[in-house]
Structure 1
Amino acid sequence: MYNFGKYNAKAMADKKVAEQYYTRPPKLSGWESFKIFLWNGETSQFMGRTAGSWARILLFYLLFYAALAGFFAGLLTIFWQTLDNDKPKWQLEASLIGANPGLGFRPMPPEAKLGSTLIWYKASSPSNMEYWFKSVDTFLEDYKKTSHLENQIHCDHNTQKQEGKVCIFSADSLGNCSPEKTKGKYGYPERRPCVFLKLNKIYNWRPEVYNTTENLPAKMPTYIKQSIGGEQLKPKDKNLVWISCEGENPADVENLGGINYFPQRGFPDYYFPFNNVQGYLPPLVAVQFDHPKSGVLINIECKAWAKNIHHDRAERRGSVHFELMID
Structure 2
Amino acid sequence: MACTVRGKPVVIHPAFYAAGIILVAVIGFLIFYHVDPRVHYAIFGASDDTNIVNGIPGLIVRPRITEAGKSESLIMYNSSDRNSYMRWVDALDDFLKVYRKPGLTPGRGSNIYNCDYIQPPAPGRVCDVDIKNWMPCIKENYFNYHKSAPCVFLKLSQISGWRPSFYNDTNSLPEAMPRELKQYIMELKSEDAKQLNTIWVSCEGENPADMENIGPVNILPRRGFPGYFYPYENSEGYLSPLVAIHFERPRTGILINVECKAWARNIKHDSASSMGAVHFELMID
Q: TM-score, normalised by structure 2?
A: 0.82
User: Could you tell me how far 1:248 is from its partner in structure 2?
Assistant: 0.6
1:302 paired with 2:253, answer no
Structure with higher RCO (Cα < 8 A, 6+ apart): 2
Partner of 1:152: 112
Deviation track 1:225-245 (CA, whole Å, cap 9, x = no partner) reads 112211464011121110110
**1:93-132 superposed Cα distances (whole Å, 9 cap, x missing partner):** 9x98422112110111333355431111101111111101
Amino acid at match of 1:163: P
| Cα deviation digits, residues 151-195 of structure 1 (max 9, x gap) | 12111111133111111114223232133xxx1400011111001
Distance 1:286 1:75, change over 3 A: closer
219, 231, 241: which one pairs with 1:283?
241
Equivalent position to 1:320, from 275, 278, 285? 278
Residue in 2 that maps onto 1:109: 65
* Greater CA drift, 169-178 or 215-224: 169-178
Number of matched residues? Answer: 262
* Greater fraction strand: 2
Sort the Cα spacing of 1:92 and 1:291 in 2 relative to 1 into closer, same or farther, 3 A. Answer: same
Equivalent residue runs for 1:229-244 within 5 Å: 229-231=186-188, 233-244=191-202
Aligned ranges 1:72-221 → 2 under 5 Å? 72-76=24-28, 83-85=34-36, 97-113=53-69, 115-145=71-101, 148-179=108-139, 183-221=140-178
What is the deviation of 1:146?
A: 6.2
Q: Quote the Cα distance in structure 2 between the aligned partners of 1:239 and 1:74.
A: 46
Q: What's the counterpart of residue 311 of structure 1?
A: 269
Are 1:274 and 2:225 counterparts? no
Structure-2 residue corresponding to 1:222: 179
Residue type of the alignment partner of 2:89: F
| Structure of higher CA gyration radius | 1
Partner residue, 2:49: none
Please list the CA deviations of residues 124-145 of structure 1 after superposition, one character each: whole Å capped at 9, or x if unmatched. 1111111011101100101112
RMSD of aligned residue pairs (Cα, Å): 2.7
> Is 1:133–1:184's contact at 8 Å kept on the other side of the alignment?
no
In the alignment, the residues of structure 2 paired with residue 89 and residue 137 of structure 1 have an alpha-carbon distance, to the nearest angstrom, of 24
Amino acid at match of 1:280: Y
Counterparts of 1:274 and 1:133, CA distance in 2: 29
- Identity of counterpart residues, as a percentage? 41
Residue aligned with 1:172, SS: coil
| Whole-angstrom distance in 2 between the partners of 1:86 and 1:132 | 29
Cα pair distance change 1:79/1:215, threshold 3 Å: same
Q: 1:127 to 1:99 in 2, by over 3 A?
A: same
